Amino acid sequence: MRTVITKKLPLREMYVWELPVRIFHWVNAFCITFLIITGFIIAYPPAILSGTGAQQFGYWFGYLRFTHLTLGLILIINFLVRFYWFFAGNKFAKWNNYVPLTKRQWKGIFETVKVDVFLLTPKPIYDIGHNSLAATTYLGVFVLIIVQAVTGLAMWSAASEAPGAGLFQDFLFKAGGFFFLRHLHYMVMWLFILFIIAHVYLVFYHDYIERNGIASSIIGGWKFIDERLAKDYVNELNATEELDKKKHEIKELEKEVKETKAKHNG
């Protein structure tokens, strides 16, 4: 067997995923997994064909629904924290990663489709954070989470006295009632299942072909990044910082000018 060692590939370790991002990811993964399991049992409870009655089986189905709701609420709170981090986090966690607004992101999407779907080996755009295609699908996942949260809370409001439940109840009626929301909630569960299959597979696939430690990066936060990309990134950071400084300087100067003018005229 031949041992392969790369010669020309200088790599840098970069800390990409900050702790809040990683916590969000794993809490999210845990909640969604068990929401799917408990939700599926709510939709298709097992048949119990023996036994004497309710007193023997207690409240297990009730507890199951309680678990589903609790996980749902954790999912929502977790997402709210992440929402804050869309603005407070580092460059790779910022909201604009997930919304394809720039030409570069669209190019990234097409290039990644070439690699992921058509298995081509073009000259790809390597990203330090998410690749643009993945980031855009995460936008879809965020939307699905919001849909589940809203439909879930609306269904919950039916039997809740909590403050604000009335609002969700009104929403429930206006949005087409239980029939529609329940069905939507159920269908979105399948979208989550499809996403999980694609997501887990593609993480391993990219780890395999890019070998940048993407799979373990969500545990420790570090990735192996090509030196050139890392350098570009540092340049960009410096440039942005300088731009900000200049902008600040201009503001100060303008203020000064205004004051002098006022003194001069008065």
Partner 1 sequence: MNKKGKTFYEELMAKGYSRRQFLKFCGLMGGMLGLQSTGVAQIVEALETKPRLPVLWYHFQECTCCSESFLRASHPVIEEILLELISLEYDDTLMAAAGEQAEWVRAEAMKENYGNYLMVVEGAVPLGSPGYCTIAGKSAKQIFDEGAKGAKAIIAWGNCACSGCIQAAKPNPTQAMPVHKLNPGKPVVNVQGCPPIADVMAGVITYYLTFDKLPELDNTGRPKVFYGRRIHDTCYRRPCYDAGLFVESFDDENAKKGYCLYKMGCKGPNTYNSCAIIKWNNNVSYPIQSGHGCIGCAEPNFWDNGPLYATLPAIEGFGIETTATKIGAGLTAVALGGVAAHAIVTNIQKRSLIKNRTDDISLNVEDNQEYCGELGKRMDNLNKKIDLIRKDQLTYLGGGYRPDKPSDEPKN
Those residues whose C-beta lies under 8 Å from the C-beta of residue 156, and which sit 6 or more positions away, are 69, 72, 165, 168
How many angstroms separate the first and last alpha carbons of the chain?
88
Q: Check binding of 186 to ligand HEM (CB under 6 A).
A: yes
Residues 203-222 that bind partner 1 (CB under 8 A): 205, 208-211
Q: Residues 171-204, buried b or exposed e (16+ Cβ, 10 A)?
A: ebeeeeeeeebeebbeebbeebeebeeebeebee
Q: Which is nearer to ligand HEM, 10 or 62 (CB)?
A: 62
Q: Check binding of 190 to partner 1 (CB under 8 A).
A: yes
Among candidate residues 184, 194, 195, 154, the one with its CA nearest the CA of residue 43:
184
CA distances from 106 to 67, 96, 160 (A): 40, 13, 45
Q: Which is nearer to partner 1, 13 or 170 (CB)?
A: 170
* 129 and 90 Cβ atoms separated by less than 8 Å: no
Q: Check binding of 173 to partner 1 (CB under 8 A).
A: yes
Q: Check binding of 247 to partner 1 (CB under 8 A).
A: yes
Q: Check binding of 81 to partner 1 (CB under 8 A).
A: no
Among candidate residues 155, 153, 184, the one with its CA nearest the CA of residue 79:
153
Q: Which helix (H) or strand (E) holds 12?
A: strand 11-15
Q: Check binding of 9 to partner 1 (CB under 8 A).
A: yes
Q: Check binding of 96 to partner 1 (CB under 8 A).
A: no
Q: Check binding of 138 to ligand HEM (CB under 6 A).
A: no
Q: What is the Cα–Cα distance from 60 to 141, expressed in whole angstroms?
A: 31
Stretch that binds ligand HEM, among 18-26, 38-46, 84-92, 105-113 (CB under 6 A): 38-46
Q: Which is nearer to ligand HEM, 92 or 192 (CB)?
A: 192
Q: Check binding of 69 to ligand HEM (CB under 6 A).
A: yes
- Candidates 131, 132, 136, 148: give the one binding ligand HEM (CB under 6 A): 148
Q: Provide the minimum distance between the beta carbon of 155 and partner 1 in the complex, in angstroms, as a whole number.
A: 9
Q: State phi, psi for 265 to the nearest 5 degrees.
A: -70, -35
Q: Check binding of 27 to ligand HEM (CB under 6 A).
A: no
Interface contacts to ligand HEM, rule CB under 6 A = 32, 35-36, 39-40, 42-43, 65, 68-69, 72-73, 75-76, 148-149, 152-153, 155-156, 182, 185-186, 189, 192
